[in-house]
């Protein structure tokens, strides 16, 4: 793991060629933080902390280590994506950190879930490269050496340094998203309990969408405002993840405003134009799923406009002020 750069697994002979060695645990300075700048995934030199077991997801530490920073010292000092190797370095470290973070959220337990990131593309005069988390590995214990690098034809360009790993069964689904959402650069798959339970709100289990409206967190999922109706497509689960590809494609095409697809009795796929956007949208969707489930328990349909409330159609700001 990348916990504040403290995992130094160098052998007594000084060999750094094996899994868990080299950049992922030692050579990469711990103050380098993956960030998207102008649409490009970069390692940004700064005093920001790693996502780690003790620090959580934070740019400003608690002042307990030399890596902690105050706001006045949190400005970046340079961009380090001059070549393909540095971009790969950023993507691999970021996937490992995201997987650990999602495990802590309860979204990737039992080796479930996964993350894919792609970098490059025509705007950078570089071929697209797709990085994917492996299958069957404890997500909280991942390191960058576990990550696969593929091209857009799904051919492995650089295998993991860790031996005997398999590509995620989600791999065909990452590519469906990248094909039909061409601006997406990050896809997240979770086994969130809130997502799974939200697919069961319809007792007949035939609903094609989960509808949500008039909740503030709608602003966090992209393309929607508080009083819009969000339709999140639901597809049926299959015995194997790769068998979902055709259904996922159809859902993405049928619901162009949704940045996520639910899988009944399974979980969620969500994407964004950057890893930051994908992560924050994933968090926002999960909040909405939890809200929908709890509202149903209260006898409230999350897909219906409220009959009473602080905002009703036809009322302007002056009317509300007069009533108060």
1 class by beta-carbon count within 10 Å (0-12 exposed, 13-18 middle, 19+ buried): buried
Query: Tokens 């969130």 correspond to what residue?
Result: 192
Catalytic machinery residues: 216
Count the neighbouring beta carbons within 10 Å of the beta carbon of residue 237: 16
Q: Tens digits of per-residue pLDDT, 212-249?
A: 999 999 999 999 999 999 999 999 999 999 999 999 99
What are the residue ranges of helices labelled H in the chain?
84-104, 171-180, 193-198, 245-254, 275-297, 317-323
* pLDDT for 107: 97
Q: What is the pTM of this model?
A: 0.76
* pLDDT for 86: 76
CA–CA separation, 261 and 174 (whole Å): 12
Alpha carbon 87 to its chain centroid, in Å, reads 18
pLDDT, tens digit only, all 324 positions of the chain: 233 333 333 333 344 444 443 333 333 344 445 666 666 666 544 333 333 333 333 333 444 444 443 333 333 334 445 578 878 888 888 898 899 899 999 999 999 999 999 998 888 788 999 999 999 999 988 888 899 999 999 999 999 998 899 999 999 999 999 999 999 999 999 999 999 999 999 999 999 999 999 999 999 999 999 999 999 999 999 999 999 999 999 999 999 999 999 999 999 999 999 888 999 999 999 999 999 999 999 999 999 998 876 565 666 555 545 544
Domain boundaries, the chain: 94-297
* pLDDT for 272: 95
* pLDDT for 236: 99
* pLDDT for 156: 98
* pLDDT for 122: 87
> Thinking of the domain 94-297, which architecture would CATH place it in?
3-Layer(aba) Sandwich (3.40)
The bridge status of strand 229-235 relative to strand 260-263 is parallel
Instruction: Give the CA dihedral 78, 81, 83, 86, nearest 10 degrees.
Output: 110
What is the number of residues in the chain? 324
Tell me phi and psi for residue 122, to 5 degrees: -55, -35
* pLDDT for 71: 34
198-207's contacts with Cβ under 8 Å and 24+ in sequence apart are 198/262, 198/289, 198/292, 198/293, 199/234, 199/262, 199/263, 199/264, 199/265, 199/266, 200/264, 200/265, 201/292, 201/293, 201/296, 205/264, 207/234
3-state secondary structure of 156: strand
């Amino acid at each position: 793991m990348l916990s504040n750069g403290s995992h130094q697994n160098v052998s007594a002979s000084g060999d750094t060629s094996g899994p868990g060695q080299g950049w992922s645990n030692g050579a990469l300075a711990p103050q380098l933080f993956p960030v998207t700048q102008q649409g490009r995934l970069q390692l940004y030199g700064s005093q920001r902390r790693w996502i780690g077991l003790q620090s959580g997801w934070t740019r400003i530490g608690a002042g307990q280590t030399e890596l902690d920073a105050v706001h006045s010292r949190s400005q970046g000092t340079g961009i380090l994506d001059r070549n393909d190797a540095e971009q790969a370095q950023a993507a691999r470290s970021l996937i490992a950190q995201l997987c650990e973070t999602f495990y802590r959220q309860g979204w990737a337990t039992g080796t479930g879930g996964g993350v894919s990131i792609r970098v490059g593309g025509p705007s950078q005069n570089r071929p697209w490269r797709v990085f994917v988390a492996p299958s069957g590995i404890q997500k909280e214990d991942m390191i960058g050496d576990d990550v696969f690098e593929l091209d857009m034809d799904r051919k492995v360009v650089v295998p993991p340094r860790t031996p005997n790993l398999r590509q995620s069964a989600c791999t065909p689904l990452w590519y469906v998203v990248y094909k039909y959402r061409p601006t997406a650069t990050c896809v997240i798959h979770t086994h969130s309990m809130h997502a799974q339970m939200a697919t069961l709100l319809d007792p007949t289990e035939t609903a094609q969408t989960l509808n949500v409206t008039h909740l503030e967190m709608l602003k966090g999922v992209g393309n929607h405002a508080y009083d819009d109706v969000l339709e999140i497509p639901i597809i049926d689960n299959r015995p194997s993840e790769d068998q979902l590809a055709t259904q996922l494609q159809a859902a993405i095409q049928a619901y162009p405003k949704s940045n996520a697809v639910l899988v009944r009795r399974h979980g969620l796929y969500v994407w964004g134009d950057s890893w930051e956007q994908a992560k924050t949208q994933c968090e926002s969707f999960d909040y909405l799923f939890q809200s929908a489930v709890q509202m149903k328990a209260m006898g409230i349909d999350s897909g219906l406009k409220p009959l009473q409330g602080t905002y009703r159609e036809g009322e302007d700001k002056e009317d509300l002020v007069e009533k108060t």
